[in-house]
């Protein structure tokens, strides 16, 4: 058996907590009012294990507050993990230094959700694209304009656009510039954080096609974060469903959409508006999405779960393999 | 490889649909839209101010700082009076025999220079502090902002008075006094804006691309946070000028030999009641005109700096 | 035959700029019966929101409604005085926006805002008005409504704020509610809850809805009829089944094809090339022509007239085939 190349990205029991400690004024007020100010902890990512192999697309699905964006940023190195290990090509990222660290920083690039906020409003497009090449001396100065034009062409923009400012192009075009910028440093892995959520449907299709083309041409690996199940289904090989910081189910795409096992996944699939359905009688899932500041006990989904048992309130379910390549965290399946 | 976005370019401008015809309601609506200060006013103001600063020594009939040229006998002459030398005192003379027109032209120059240099220096220092505080956060932010709070706790005039009492009189010392108190305002404004801006995704993208911190601060964060600082700065030019005028009026600003507008107004104060209005009034009007012009220019400058226009 | 609840005829709204008056929406014809749900579908720049605002009478300078009639129960809203229109708004016709904070004043308690909405249109004794508020909040599914009346908007989550906005909109039992993308910014499970509530309300009270969105899936599940907009015009209308199962206009077809849900996973999506034109960048003819794979030269120069079959209409010189009868 040939040695397996390590997965491009591996997460081992990764946690990310945001702590907001009370400042001096809040402590004083708390002492006076005899209600001590609380240190609030948001457990955005609560023990995630993941492996993404080269060339794979993992779709990460969840609603607001589930921690998917935070997880994406941890993978990209924008937030250091509070606990746990992040391995890039088999190496622990926190132990890297110098050139290796730079290789990781540039090797894992992020494409952001808001096309407007993700571009510096005062930089012309050719500056946005060429900057990384200059800063890291990835190409001689004379070659940079050529590379910029090639990058523009790769994402479907004519070279006339190089002198424009971000507000002079459309949302879909801005998103393409964001992708081109990420590609300038020849990454191996792209974290795509809701990259098409802010775009019109017909533009979404163009950008999704672009992602698929780039993956084929450049051999990229993606962590594709989205709340849109339709998009995720189209582009992903595997899908992971996140709820309040934990992965509750993960399986190959066809499995998730055909045989969803976790009640939350089933509810999500039922709720997604489907063009094929007509005049539906809505039977929505009850309750609000809980706040990550105050998560429910045991299985965090239990207040909203139609099948909740006593055990669900007390015990946190663990991810168990319930079918080939299919893991679920639910007491119902024991 | 994707096909470039041709749809925009295949539409020949001559093939585009034309807008609808003019109607009276349309003209009325457009008139309402255009109620912004006119470009012309700002340009005229700018040209005049530049002329004053550059040409004051040449335009003024008399050098008001040359004590030898003054003749006490010519003191307190009415506007349009004739001097013994044949020169016309267009705006009269003050008690020292100084030609008011010349004094005002030079005074404008001093006021403008004080206002501009104080603001430029305060902006540079304050913006830097605010930017560093916002970018690094944590204890750096806490320490810097407590210093800012401390300074902002003192009334500007009092600090300036004390500083000038220690440093002595002089144009440069006035600028130092103003800067030492004012920079804190800029720091706070810059920090506030930078705190918002640094959360934006293009800053995250810059970090993701491995750019060093100083580059992100100066090339990405700073240019996008200048807006509110510029707005504040243009208002503060006028304030700095008034502050200097006040200090000079109180007698601690510029020396008597190089009068600024404030000092001229102060000098003329005592004669106001005796009917020699011109010694205070004309410098006062000049000060007013100066401040209005600066604000007008400031408005246009702010609009020009917005990349979206 | 009873007159329809709402009949919009030949509506045109323009935006005045230095170059001239650009029409944002033109030739808008809508017909809505009492209790009907109409989906107004389009992408950015299609004019769907402008249409909603024009019907509601909320177009301000530099915009102007320059043509057409908005017949509400037979009465032309454009002819009404500002005072009469104000009486109608919030009482017979209401509007909900994408951002609930456009409806809710962040510094006032919900109770004050709801009482104000009732008070503007009828004089009720306070106890009765409060009772109506509690009922409205219960109807949109806010738990413990008597207590929540005293809350401020920021004490609610996004989905609940939108529900409060809906509650305010239906306080006076309006005949028509115009909803401008109310669930676009909400999570899928929360959207499901809101759609459920809206459906309940419409069935219980016979309220008609104009639901403005870009999400075809929501329209498919919620609406009775749909109007598809592009470049400021309605390009196709019909019942939801007719339009979504057998579209006649190439844009509608293109839109349906570009949905990932309609495609085979892993294959390229059938995309519509190019982008929607800006206000000033449209051609004199069909606005979709530059992007249309079926376009003929005539499409760019001439505005296609409406082809009407009873209950069904579309604007196209080269429409798709009609389904076999």
Please report residues of C whose CB lies closer than 8 A to that of A230: 259-261
Residue B276 forms part of a structural domain: yes
As a whole number, mean pLDDT of residues A8-36 equals 83
Contact A201, C271 (CB under 8 A): no
Name the more confident of B134 and A198.
Answer: B134
Say if residue B33's pLDDT is above 80: no
Say if residue B34's pLDDT is above 70: no
What pLDDT shows up at residue B265? 84
Contact A70, A247 (CB under 8 A): no
Element (DSSP H or E) covering residue C238: strand C233-239
- Among chain C residues, the shortest Cα distance to B34 is held by C18
Distance of alpha carbon C122 from the chain centroid = 27
CA dihedral sign, ordered C110, C113, C115, C121: negative
Q: Which domains does chain C have, with CATH numbers?
A: 6-92+172-263+270-315 (3.40.50.300)
Tell me whether residues B204 and A110 touch, CB distance under 8 A. yes
Q: pLDDT digit string (tens) for A139-172?
A: 999 999 999 999 999 998 888 899 999 988 888 8
Q: pLDDT digit string (tens) for C55-92?
A: 999 998 788 899 999 999 989 999 999 899 999 998 99
- Among chain B residues, the shortest Cα distance to C19 is held by B19
Binned at pLDDT 50, 70 and 90, residue B12 comes out as low
Q: Alpha-carbon distance C15 to C62, whole Å?
A: 5
Structure tokens at B217: 């601060």
Residue B139 forms part of a structural domain: yes
Most distant CA atoms of chain A, gap in Å:
69
- Among chain C residues, the shortest Cα distance to A291 is held by C157
As a whole number, mean pLDDT of residues B115-127 equals 93
Domain ranges of chain A: 1-7+54-236, 239-334
Q: Alpha-carbon distance B269 to B277, whole Å?
A: 9
Please report residues of C whose CB lies closer than 8 A to that of B17: 282-284
Going by C-beta distance under 8 Å and a sequence separation of 6 or more, which residues neighbour residue B272? B279, B280
Q: How many other CB atoms are there within 10 angstroms of residue A224's CB atom?
A: 27
What pLDDT shows up at residue C1? 59
Please, which residues 106-165 of chain C have a Cβ atom closer than 8 Å to chain A? 157-160
What does pLDDT average to over chain B? 80
Say if residue B6's pLDDT is above 70: no
> What is the pTM for the complete model shown?
0.84
Looking at the complex, report in whole angstroms how far the Cα of residue C267 sits from the nearest Cα belonging to chain A: 8
Contact A229, A248 (CB under 8 A): no
Residue B1 forms part of a structural domain: no
Looking at the complex, report in whole angstroms how far the Cα of residue C62 sits from the nearest Cα belonging to chain B: 6
Least confident residue range of C15-19, C107-111, C241-245, C291-295: C15-19
Residue B285 gets the label, from left (phi > 0), alpha (psi -120 to 50) or beta, of alpha
Residue C285: half-sphere exposure toward Cβ, Cα within 13 Å: 18
Q: Alpha-carbon distance B68 to C302, whole Å?
A: 85
Q: pLDDT digit string (tens) for A213-255?
A: 999 999 999 999 998 888 999 999 999 999 999 999 999 999 9
Looking at the complex, report in whole angstroms how far the Cα of residue A215 sits from the nearest Cα belonging to chain B: 12
Q: Alpha-carbon distance A88 to A103, whole Å?
A: 10
Which residues form the domain of B177? Answer: 53-64+73-305
Q: Alpha-carbon distance A192 to B241, whole Å?
A: 53
3-state SS class at A175: helix
Looking at the complex, report in whole angstroms how far the Cα of residue A261 sits from the nearest Cα belonging to chain C: 17
Looking at the complex, report in whole angstroms how far the Cα of residue A198 sits from the nearest Cα belonging to chain B: 14
Q: Alpha-carbon distance C269 to A204, whole Å?
A: 10
Element (DSSP H or E) covering residue A235: helix A229-235
Tell me whether residues B3 and C64 touch, CB distance under 8 A. no
What pLDDT shows up at residue C179? 94
Say if residue B196's pLDDT is above 60: yes
Q: Residue ranges of the alpha helices (H) in chain B?
A: 7-10, 24-33, 39-59, 100-136, 138-152, 156-167, 171-197, 201-208, 213-215, 222-250, 261-272, 278-305
What pLDDT shows up at residue B194? 94
Q: pLDDT digit string (tens) for C214-254?
A: 989 899 989 999 999 999 999 999 999 999 999 999 999 99
- Verify cis geometry, omega within 30 degrees of 0, for the bond prior to B216: no
Cα of first residue to Cα of last residue in chain C, in angstroms, is 28
Q: pLDDT digit string (tens) for C160-218?
A: 899 899 999 988 999 999 999 998 888 888 888 888 888 888 888 899 999 999 989 89
φ/ψ of residue B108, rounded to 5: -60, -45
- Among chain C residues, the shortest Cα distance to B6 is held by C274
Q: How many other CB atoms are there within 10 angstroms of residue A182's CB atom?
A: 27
Q: Alpha-carbon distance A117 to A127, whole Å?
A: 16
| Residue C281 touches chain B, beta carbons under 8 Å | yes
What does the DSSP 8-state code read for residue A317?
A: -
Least confident residue range of B219-223, C47-51, C144-148: C144-148
Say if residue B4's pLDDT is above 50: no
Say if residue B220's pLDDT is above 60: yes
Most confident of B100-104, B197-201, C273-277: B197-201
What pLDDT shows up at residue A227? 87
Please check whether the domain covering A1-7+54-236 is classified as CATH 3.40.50.300.
yes
What pLDDT shows up at residue B2? 46
- String of b and e for C296-307 (b: at least 16 CB within 10 Å)? eeebbeebbebe
Say if residue C151's pLDDT is above 80: yes
Please report residues of C whose CB lies closer than 8 A to that of B16: 280-284
Q: pLDDT digit string (tens) for A258-287?
A: 989 999 999 888 888 888 877 777 777 777
What pLDDT shows up at residue B21? 67
What pLDDT shows up at residue A292? 80
Residue B85: half-sphere exposure toward Cβ, Cα within 13 Å: 12
Q: pLDDT digit string (tens) for B142-183?
A: 899 999 999 888 888 888 888 888 887 778 888 888 898 889
What pLDDT shows up at residue B27? 65
Please report residues of A whose CB lies closer than 8 A to that of C160: 288
Binned at pLDDT 50, 70 and 90, residue B9 comes out as very low
Please report residues of B whose CB lies closer than 8 A to that of C274: 5-8
Strand partners, C138: none
B&C contacts, CB < 8 Å: 64
What does the DSSP 8-state code read for residue C258?
A: T
| Residue C64 touches chain B, beta carbons under 8 Å | yes
Residues in chain C: 325
Say what the ipTM of the complex is: 0.88
What pLDDT shows up at residue B28? 66
Please report residues of C whose CB lies closer than 8 A to that of A242: none
Say if residue A47's pLDDT is above 50: yes
As a whole number, mean pLDDT of residues C278-293 equals 87
User: Which chains are within 8 Å of A by 3+ CB pairs?
Assistant: B, C
Element (DSSP H or E) covering residue C88: helix C82-88
Structure tokens at B306: 């917005």
Q: What is the CATH number of the domain that holds B151?
A: 1.10.3720.10
Q: pLDDT digit string (tens) for A126-138?
A: 999 999 999 999 9
| Residue C16 touches chain B, beta carbons under 8 Å | yes
What pLDDT shows up at residue A284? 74
As a whole number, mean pLDDT of residues B107-115 equals 85
As a whole number, mean pLDDT of residues B300-309 equals 65
Q: How many domains does chain B have?
A: 1
What does pLDDT average to over chain C? 89
Q: Alpha-carbon distance B50 to B187, whole Å?
A: 29
Which residue from B151, B132, B149 is spatially nearest to B198, judged by alpha carbons? B132
Quick one: how many helices (H) and strands (E) in chain A? 11, 12
DSSP letters for C72-132: ETTEEGGGS-HHHHHHHBTTTEEEE-SSGGGTS-TTS-HHHHHHHHHHTT----HHHHHHH
Residue B96 forms part of a structural domain: yes
Structure tokens at A305: 């779960």
Name the more confident of A212 and B276.
Answer: A212
Please report residues of B whose CB lies closer than 8 A to that of A121: 202, 224, 307-308
User: Which chains are within 8 Å of C by 3+ CB pairs?
Assistant: A, B
Please report residues of B whose CB lies closer than 8 A to that of C23: 20
């Amino acid at each position: 058996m040939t040695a397996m190349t390590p997965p491009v990205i591996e997460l081992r029991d990764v946690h990310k907590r945001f702590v907001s400690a009370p400042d001096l004024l809040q402590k004083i007020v708390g002492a006076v009012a005899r209600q001590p100010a609380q240190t609030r902890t948001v457990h955005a990512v609560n023990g995630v294990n993941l492996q993404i192999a080269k060339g794979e697309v993992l779709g990460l699905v969840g609603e607001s507050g589930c921690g998917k964006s935070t997880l994406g940023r941890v993978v990209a190195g924008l937030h250091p993990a509070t606990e746990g290990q992040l391995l890039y090509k088999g190496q622990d990222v926190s132990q890297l230094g110098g050139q290796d660290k730079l290789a990781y920083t540039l090797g894992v690039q992020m494409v952001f959700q808001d096309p407007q906020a993700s571009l510096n409003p005062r930089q012309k497009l050719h500056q946005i694209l060429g900057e990384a090449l200059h800063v890291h001396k990835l190409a001689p100065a004379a070659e940079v304009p050529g590379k910029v034009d090639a990058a523009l062409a790769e994402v479907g923009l004519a070279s006339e656009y190089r002198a424009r400012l971000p507000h002079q192009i459309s949302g879909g075009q801005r998103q393409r510039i964001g992708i081109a910028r990420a590609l300038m440093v020849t990454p191996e892995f792209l974290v795509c954080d809701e990259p098409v959520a802010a775009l019109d449907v017909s533009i979404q299709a163009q950008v999704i096609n672009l992602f698929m083309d780039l993956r084929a041409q450049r051999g990229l690996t993606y962590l594709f974060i989205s709340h849109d199940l339709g998009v995720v289904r189209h582009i992903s090989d595997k899908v992971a469903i996140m709820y309040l910081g934990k992965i509750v189910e993960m399986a190959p795409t066809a499995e998730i959409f055909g045989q969803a096992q976790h009640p939350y996944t089933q509810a999500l699939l039922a709720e997604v508006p489907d063009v094929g359905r007509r005049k539906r009688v809505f039977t929505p899932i009850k309750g609000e999405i809980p706040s990550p500041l105050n998560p429910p006990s045991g299985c965090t989904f239990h207040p909203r779960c139609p099948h909740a048992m006593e055990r669900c309130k007390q015990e946190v379910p663990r991810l168990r393999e319930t079918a080939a390549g299919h893991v679920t965290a639910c007491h119902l399946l024991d | 490889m994707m096909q470039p976005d041709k749809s925009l370019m295949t539409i020949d401008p001559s093939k585009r649909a034309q807008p609808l015809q003019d109607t009276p309601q349309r003209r009325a609506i457009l008139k309402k839209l255009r109620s912004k200060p006119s470009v012309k006013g700002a340009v005229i103001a700018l040209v005049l101010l530049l002329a004053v600063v550059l040409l004051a020594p040449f335009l003024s009939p008399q050098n008001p700082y040359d004590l030898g040229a003054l003749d006490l006998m010519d003191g307190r002459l009415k506007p349009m009076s004739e001097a013994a030398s044949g020169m016309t005192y267009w705006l009269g003379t003050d008690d020292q025999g100084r030609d008011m027109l010349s004094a005002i032209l030079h005074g404008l120059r001093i006021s403008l220079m004080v206002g501009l240099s104080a603001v430029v220096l305060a902006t540079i220092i304050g913006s830097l502090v605010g930017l560093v505080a916002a970018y690094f956060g944590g204890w750096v932010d806490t320490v810097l902002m407590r210093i800012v709070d401390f300074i902002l706790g003192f009334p500007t005039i009092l600090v300036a008075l004390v500083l000038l009492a220690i440093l002595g009189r002089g144009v440069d010392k006035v600028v130092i006094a103003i800067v030492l108190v004012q920079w804190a305002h800029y720091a706070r404004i810059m920090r506030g804006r930078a705190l918002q801006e640094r959360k934006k995704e293009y800053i995250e993208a810059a970090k993701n691309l491995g750019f060093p911190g100083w580059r992100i601060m100066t090339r990405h964060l700073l240019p996008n946070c200048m807006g509110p600082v510029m707005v504040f700065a243009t208002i503060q030019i006028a304030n700095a000028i008034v502050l200097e005028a006040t200090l000079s009026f109180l007698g601690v600003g510029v020396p008597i030999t190089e009068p600024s507008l404030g000092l001229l107004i102060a000098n003329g104060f005592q004669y106001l009641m005796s009917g020699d209005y011109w010694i205070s009034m004309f410098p006062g009007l000049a000060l007013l005109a100066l401040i209005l012009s600066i604000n007008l220019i400031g408005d246009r400058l702010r609009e020009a700096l917005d990349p979206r226009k | 035959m009873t007159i329809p609840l709402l009949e919009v005829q030949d509506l045109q709204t323009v935006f005045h700029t230095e170059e001239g008056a650009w029409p944002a929406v033109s030739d808008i014809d809508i017909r809505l019966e009492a209790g009907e749900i109409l989906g107004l579908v389009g992408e950015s720049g299609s004019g769907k929101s402008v249409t909603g605002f024009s019907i509601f009478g909320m177009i301000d300078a530099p915009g102007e409604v320059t043509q057409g009639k908005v017949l509400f129960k037979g009465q032309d809203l454009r002819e009404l005085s500002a005072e009469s229109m104000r009486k109608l708004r919030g009482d017979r016709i209401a509007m909900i926006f994408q951002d609930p904070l456009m409806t809710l004043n962040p510094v006032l308690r919900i109770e004050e805002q709801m009482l104000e909405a009732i008070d503007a249109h009828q004089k009720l004794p306070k106890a009765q008005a409060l009772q109506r508020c509690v009922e409205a909040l219960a109807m949109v599914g806010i738990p413990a409504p008597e207590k929540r009346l005293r809350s401020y908007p920021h004490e609610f989550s996004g989905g609940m704020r939108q529900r409060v906005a809906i509650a305010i909109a239906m306080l006076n039992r309006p005949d028509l509610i115009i909803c401008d993308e109310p669930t676009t910014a909400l999570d899928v499970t929360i959207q499901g809850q809101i759609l459920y509530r809206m459906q309940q309300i419409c069935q219980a009270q016979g309220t008609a809805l104009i639901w403005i969105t870009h999400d075809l899936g929501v329209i498919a599940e919620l609406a009775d009829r749909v109007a598809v907009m592009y470049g400021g015009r309605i390009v196709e209308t019909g019942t939801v089944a007719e339009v979504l199962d057998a579209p006649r206009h190439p844009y509608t077809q293109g839109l349906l094809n570009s949905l990932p849900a309609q495609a085979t996973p892993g294959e390229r999506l059938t995309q519509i090339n190019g982008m929607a034109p800006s206000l000033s960048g449209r051609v004199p003819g069909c606005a979709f022509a530059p992007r249309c794979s079926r376009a003929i030269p005539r499409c760019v120069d001439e505005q296609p007239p409406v082809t009407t079959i009873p209950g069904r209409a579309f604007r196209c010189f080269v429409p798709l085939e009609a389904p076999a009868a």
